[in-house]
Structure 1
Amino acid sequence: MNPRRLTPSMSLLVAFEAAARHCSFTKAADELALTQSAVSRQVQALESQLEISLFKREGRKIELTAAGALYQHELSAALGRIRSATLQTIAFKEEDGPLNLAVLPTFGSKWLLPKMHEFYALHPRNLVHIHSRIIHADNPSSVGDMQAIICAGKGDWPGYVSHLLLQEKLIVIASPKALADNPGLSLDDITQHLLLNVVSRPNGWSDWFDLNNLDHQKMRTGPSFELTAHLIQAVAAGIGIGLVPDILVQDEIESGTVVKLFGPTQSGRNYYLTCAARYQHFPAFKTFSAWLLSLPS
């Protein structure tokens, strides 16, 4: 088959995609700043090149054929990727362009955001758009097409470039109210309390029991929370005892809302600033990463 037939010109494809989206040559013409007849001619030229009808025409009404609907579905996604790639490429000339950053919600609010005023003091023209995301430790791509990601894991994600920010250390916390009758809580006393959990760390307490040679059969598993911030609030309310990263609960410890019982211990996970390899030279990422990695750990 002639390769030219399989690669119609962009003007024909754009005209068809707009007409298919609106089911109207007139609305497509308005969007593209063309005349209705020009859009109609471009769609006819595309149909002639493909040798198939993409629209059913009844008077002034148009409706996609089955082939046209399939073509629109595939073409819309392809044109979307082309437009996105073009915007990203244009952004490379903007040294102070914005950065889209996905970050774990509690880490963002507890650790990153209190420091961002320092970044803006040094780089007042650079904007960082922060998107709170639940990020899977084994799959940072789950957040979608972000130019930068801060997540926890082992940092060995194929296709990503990762920079170590912090080693994660876990501590056991409780509400002072929960310890009123037993302020000198021992390791064995842990088994008398509900153990609160974060869903992204299902084996957290099991690993901690192993580390401290405690009997798993005595473990009182409590409710799970999607956000570490919610777990901390539950601990403060006296619902149970929590196992949390120490950097996420410093404010509550200093205020006396919760107290540290045991730890810290290494979790085996660390926090990383990472990005898909294609973004590693993106000017906004280079500016932000240079600042972030210069902070004391």
Structure 2
Amino acid sequence: MNEHSRPSLPAGFMRRLPPLVALAYFEVAARTRSFAAAAKELSVTPAAVSHQIKALEEQLGVALFIRHHRRVTPTAAALSILPRLQDGFAALVDAVDELRSQGEAKDVITVCAEPLFATKWLVPRLHRFYARHPEAEVRLQASLHSVDTAPGGPVTAAAFSRAGIDLTIRFGYGQYPEMNSSPLLAVALVPVAAPGTGRNTITEVLDNGALLTDNTAGRSNERFGWREWCEAAGESFPADAREHHFGNGLLALEATLTGQGAWLVCPELVETELAAGTLRRLSEVALPCRFHYFIVSPERASPRTIVTDFRDWLLDERRLASGQPIGTAVPG
């Protein structure tokens, strides 16, 4: 439903509504099933909660709670409206947050990406965004919360609002209903190692057993590691191989650079090290991954200009990386 197809509110609708504070007190009391717990959450007294609920019941002409000696139970009528009331409050919070973000910081964008991508792909390119938009401020967060745990993931406009995120570069499946989503970088893993470590071929690495694994995508059921790479390369995975596991790509990168073994990585994320010779590819065999990097932001009828600008710049960077002129279409 777009903004033009939404039904108009009836004239004088505010006069039909009870005070919003009373509805808010009711929502907390019904959710917690306790006037005392509601009072604690709202930082008021239980008597204040009881007073607001009683006034609301009188105005609506319906009982909302059954009072017991030391507890309350929401009535069937209360429980029937609670989910819709909660949805209404959530929509109000989202709308106010959007207005606040547009009014207070129209040139500020908060972006989230997983640590390796944020550090090795995004940060080295940011100067080009600032050259295009010198008035902008990018607040970059590096977090594994931008990695999918399942198709669709916990990716909703409400989740973005709670986290204060405007746009995320997600590492995942690409299935994000009701979100703006564009593919940014396909991922295929190749084995790399530091030169001069005595592990100059993949056969030596497999024989030695020093296999480094980045567990970034391990929060999902996807598996694209050494066993899968060996199968793609026609190699036998050694039964006595030792894998050293790291919680994110930056840790695995440091271990690789210091000669601790070989690592499977997307080469676009270590292009600086490959160009400088501090890392070398051990094989041309690449393992395609189901996970890609996607640009994701809430779907809004009128997105903030800074969000649109940042998305457009990311897609231009994708075109540059693929050797295409800016302004041409990039295949998904």
Work out whether the TM-score is over 0.5: yes
In structure 2, what is the equivalent of residue 31 of structure 1? none
Out of 296, 308, 325, the position equivalent to 1:274 is 296
Is residue 190–residue 287 contact of structure 2 (8 Å, CA) maintained in 1? no
Aligned pairs for 1:87-236 (under 5 A) are 87-89=97-99, 91=101, 96-134=106-144, 135-136=147-148, 138-141=151-154, 144-145=159-160, 146-179=165-198, 183=200, 185=201, 187-192=202-207, 193-199=209-215, 200=217, 202-218=223-239, 220-236=241-257
Out of 308, 312, 316, the position equivalent to 1:286 is 308
The count of residues paired between Structure 1 and Structure 2 equals: 270
Cα shift at 1:237: 2.8
Give secondary structure in 1 for the equivalent of 2:135: coil
| TM-score with structure 1 setting the length | 0.72
Listed one character per residue, the Cα deviations across residues 122-166 of structure 1 (whole Å, up to 9, x for unaligned) are 223333332222211634435932432212334343333322222
Q: C-alpha separation between the residues in 1 aligned to 2:224 and 2:24?
A: 51
Q: C-alpha separation between the residues in 2 aligned to 1:253 and 1:129?
A: 28
Is residue 140–residue 151 contact of structure 1 (8 Å, CA) maintained in 2? no
1:79 and 2:79 correspond = no
Q: C-alpha separation between the residues in 2 aligned to 1:280 and 1:223?
A: 47
Q: Percent identity?
A: 23
| TM-score with structure 2 setting the length | 0.65
The unaligned stretches of length 5 or more in structure 1 are 29-38, 57-62
Q: C-alpha separation between the residues in 2 aligned to 1:216 and 1:266?
A: 15
Cα shift at 1:42: 4.7
In structure 2, what is the equivalent of residue 33 of structure 1? none
Is residue 230–residue 237 contact of structure 2 (8 Å, CA) maintained in 1? yes
| Distance verdict in 2 for CA 1:136–1:158, change over 3 Å | same
Listed one character per residue, the Cα deviations across residues 149-207 of structure 1 (whole Å, up to 9, x for unaligned) are 2123343433333222223232211133532xx64x2x433321321112216332122
Q: C-alpha separation between the residues in 1 aligned to 2:66 and 2:298?
A: 37
More strand as a share of residues = 1
Q: Give the aligned CA root-mean-square deviation in angstroms.
A: 3.9
